[in-house]
Structure 1
Amino acid sequence: MLLLTCPNCGVAADETELAPGGEAHLTRRGPGSDDASFESYLFHRRNPRGVHFERWRHAHGCGKWFHAARDTVTLEVYGTYPAQCAAPPREILDRIAAKHPGFDWEGGA
């Protein structure tokens, strides 16, 4: 079972209390963007085996969105942080690098 701590209200919630929101740190494209950029935004997503950054909403709690860094293979959670962060906090990246030497977050890992 996946357990994530909401950074907004501090509650440790299992996945039944949360709503997934897909990949985190995407550059949103909309009206005025060219077709290729809009297509990329709508359809092209990473689906890694390993470290992944995701959006979650504490649906049955405070209702706020947040980001989580976790391993898609082991379900190990490296940390959660507010959705307003443009990049994962340094302490989470350090935690990931300790488990995965050579890991490099490229602005959308």
Structure 2
Amino acid sequence: MQMIPCPHCGPREETEFHYGGAAGTAYPAHPDTLDDATWARYLFFRPNPKGPLPERWCHRAGCRRWFTITRDTVTYRFLSGPESGEHR
């Protein structure tokens, strides 16, 4: 079981969280004006780097707050959070 460091509650088991995707993915300002290809890129294409990636998580079984945390996609280790002194 992986432990996720909630900045509000401390480390908790991954089953308490909901993954929200890559951080910084902005909703299109005028989605009704997008063609199908552009809309598909927004819906289905996300960053998939080999290494650190800022992600959004919700502590749904705890404080129910959303937060951004950086996770290494190679090792699955969280690189920011309460134990590193970085709060978001």
TM-score by length of 2: 0.73
The CA RMSD over aligned residues, in Å, is 2.4
Gaps of 5+ in 2: none
- Listed one character per residue, the Cα deviations across residues 3-50 of structure 1 (whole Å, up to 9, x for unaligned) are 22222x232112111111111110112533422442221111122222
| Maintained 8 Å contact 1:66/1:80 | no
Q: Percent identity?
A: 40
The equivalent of 2:11 in structure 1 is 12
- Describe the SS at the equivalent of 1:56: strand
Q: C-alpha separation between the residues in 1 aligned to 2:81 and 2:33?
A: 31
| TM-score, with length taken from structure 1 | 0.62
Q: What is the one-letter code of the residue matched to 2:5?
A: T
Unaligned ranges ≥5, structure 1: 82-90, 93-109
Structure 1 stretches of at least 4 aligned residues deviating more than 4 Å after TM superposition: none
- 2:72 aligns with 71
